[in-house]
A and B are shown apart, each in its own frame.
Chain A
Amino acid sequence: MSNSHAVAVQEHQDHHAGHHEPGFIGKYVFSKDHKIIGIQFLMTTLLMLLVGGALALGVRFQLAWPWRAMPLIHTLTGGLFGSEGGQISPEFYTMLFTMHASVMIFLVIIPILAGAFGNFLIPLMIGADDMAFPTLNMLSYWFMWPAIFCFGLSFTIGGLNAAPANGWTSYPVLSAVVDASPSAGAPQTWWLIGLTFVGVSSMMGSVNYMTTIINMRAPGMTLFRMPLTIWSMFITAILQAFALPVLTAAGFMLVAERTLGFKFFVPGNLVINDGAPTIGGGQPLLWQHLFWFYSHPAVYIMLLPAMGMVSDMLACKVRKPIFGYKPMVYSMAAIAGLGFIVWGHHMFTSGMNPALGMTFMISTMMIALPSAVKVFNWIGTIWGGKISFDTVTLNCVAFISMFIVGGLSGIWMASVPTDIYFHDTYYIVAHFHYVLFGATLFGCFGAIPFWYPKMFGRKMNDTLGKLHFLLTFIGFNGTFFPMHMLGIAGFPRRYADPYIHPYMEHLLPMNRFMTLCAILMGLAQLILIYNFVSSWFIGERASRNPWNANGLEWTAPSPPGHGNFDIAPICYRGPYEYSSPLNPSDDFLMQTDQIVAR
């Protein structure tokens, strides 16, 4: 009797979910469930994070002990990668930093924000039971793998010891003429194809996000009741939708130039590697314009979602409404808009029309404005809050602090005359690592423990989290803050052995210090991985709303079943009603709570 009743309930729930249980493959591999897909993205990107980090350590090692036998390189690659007598070859160094950048940008930061958290959070936060196009969503994940495959292939193709060696920007002529760089032939081409796959993947994602956010919001979830995370995802999606085609087109042009002999970027009469003089009237700057027209907005693609998530976490952690919700939204929109008209500041020294230089400088200066507003708003949010210091809070605060540094150092870049000096020195490296690693990754390191309970129904270990944060923070600043000094000292990027230039010899000890810090930081990530995996099994079980947060996602069971919500949510107010006087009993007021009249 009771059994049959239970069965009945079971069936009823299944029916409510509108599906019947798919098999293992359908559920965990080619799943169309946005949560699974999000987690798949998360796993993949964390894996890639380790890969990229290892490559970075290789770069750091060469800078600290130039031409010293690189640890593990022989054990791991069996003496491949053109090393003789244990010492690596300069072209291998160029491959190292090229692939580091490619992996970190295209396989870690973009997918971890839009892919992992975007997928997982959007439907939950807007109270939808899944994405608008589940199949498209699944594809957007599985298109990552061709990209990873192509990048990997680019490493191993061409005699097992050539990878793209033209920097992640792969400026022509170097990248367009096959003989110009060690990545002769295939690797660079494969890299470009991989890039296209990444583009396709994020394009699918962005279309999906836009549709979902516009059409599938829960009743009562007006645009200005959406959490900032959703806003940031929405804006990011728009950015991607508009910027990506340009990169894809440029990529195809470069592939055509390399393989089919088109002449878009290579001018005539260049003699490269004792070859015949090149023919044709291409223009190298064309690539730079096209590339940066995507890649500058991409910087914000890599940043905005983190901003959104940090806003949400911060509000919850300080038990306070966001200070100036609408200004936050507007500033994000402003950043996105301006982001399209500042790409030229990557080209101040490239010899483009100086008038352009001025306009781009002004627009670039202006884009600092919304960023400033956001910073002030965050500080205002913390102002007068009741803060519980755990991993999440620490990471969010680190995010703000690092973002301040990265943003401020950007002002030198924005002002053309100083950029003339700082362009392509380590100052740039410091700047974008502070923004991309310092801001974005700290944001993610906060977001992972914050939404972990919702993903796996368990909490992550807070002690380990704090330890991981501490080591990462110290290692990070130890590694990247000195880079400002290097940049001021005129230390150019992408030098395998800068110390053959007399004016840089004295910077070696500093580089040794930075490398040690980098090693520390690299090892610290193992803690994160361990914590992530172990908490899955031994973590403390989490309730539906472990942080007493307001968002819709916290009304769903953790982890949410298929179809997310067992009770269809209705939204009554904005997401940041913490410590609202309307709820005397508790210091939070969920978006779904009706006010109890009394």
Chain B
Amino acid sequence: MSLGALLLAGVLVIPVGAAAVLALLSSYRLGSRLNILASLSTFGVAAALFRVRPEPGLFLIVDDVNVVFIVLSTFVGLTTSIFSAGYIGHELEVGRLTPVTLRFYHAMYQALMAAMNLALVANNVALMWVAVEVATLTTVLMVGIYRTHAALEAAWKYFILGSVGIAFALFGTIVIYMAAQSALGEGLDAMAWTVLVSESARFDPALLNLAFVFLLLGYGTKVGLAPLHAWLPDAHAEGPTPISAVLSGLLLNVALFALLRFKMVMAGNPDSLAPGPVMATMGLGSLLFAALMLYRRYDIKRLFAYSSIEHMGIIVFAFGMGGPLANFAGLMHMTMHSLTKSAIFFTVGHVAHAKGTQRIEDIRGLTQSHPALGWGLLLGTFAIAGMPPMGMFMSEFLLVSTTIARQPLLAIPLVLGLLLAFGALLTQAMGMAFGEGKRGTAVVPTMLYLPEFAHFGLVLVAGVYIPPPVVAWFQHVAELLG
């Protein structure tokens, strides 16, 4: 068993094992420590995958397409675990969580990590489907963890819509298999994504189209594209903040990643329906809709949940546009968004603790009362709005400029959406950051700022400099996406 295979196994086994142990562990302090430790080791192993890779198998694979996302998700998993260690302590004091639920919480957290890693490294489309479903179910359980009516409602809504999405995705997968099986014959080959991509030219286009429609709707529900987004805001708003961070930062990415793999399959087959226009339309729709919804938000977490929808819209639009520039922009935007948005949710969690509320009206003058939080929130808002020198500026630069050059008419709604969203976020963020702030409210220990500012640091650097290997991977994926 080669080193690469060991590493790959590590990425999956460590979280699973940790989940088992955490389920048994009663002390929550120990639990949170172990949680961090497990995430750290997972991240270490994943980072090692940059250097050594296992030879691709029919079930699991590590290649240019997913390695960046594996490392990214394990990294965000690590920082989130650090954040949640501080966060749940406060939750216990307030009494919204009990040690028992915390046991469950930690176990689920690691299970979620395992599921997402599996979804990323899966080469077998059915396996990927299973992994995504497991991830969804775990998040459903965690969203409902507060047992409040609102939380249960959110979880239930998420669950029902999610299950329908899962069913669609499964049907799509089956049809893909049928298409492949007629060309490649029965067996695992017809489910191995690598084979699908390379052979898709020989598949039956009609079946591919049918499959893509269902896959788009199925995984699109997870991505949170309007009008399939209904679960997303409530799930973000009512669940514990670390989970909101993971949802926005990682799960959306994973679902989108699954979608991308099938887009590559479609791209391989000239006769099949071009997925581009459909995706571009849905992306623009989500962007505009979410941008408008940002204006009348009263709950800070819901606000940023809608901004996630908006950005998923941008990304899907980018991939819908296609072409080297737009695809590169989309990939870059995915990465930047997951870093930024999770960092924003960290900040929001602190803010909610410091001010004791999630209502935007009740949060005022942060830069005065909690400078680090206030400026952090502003920094996050600007990063998410694509202000320089943050990373999203580069992706939006590439996307907008290539759009006007290729499809001038599409540039209008795109720019309109960006501007609307920016205006909304700016009003809300300025209202919270400036003005007269009440001092004396709870203070947050500086050490807890570590994760968010680590993320912001990365985003800032990426805005002006991306290491060449990452660029090479992105460009390779971009060309695969066609």
Same complex:
no
Please give the residue numbers on chain B whose beta carbons come within 8 Å of chain A beta carbons, in ascending order.
Answer: none
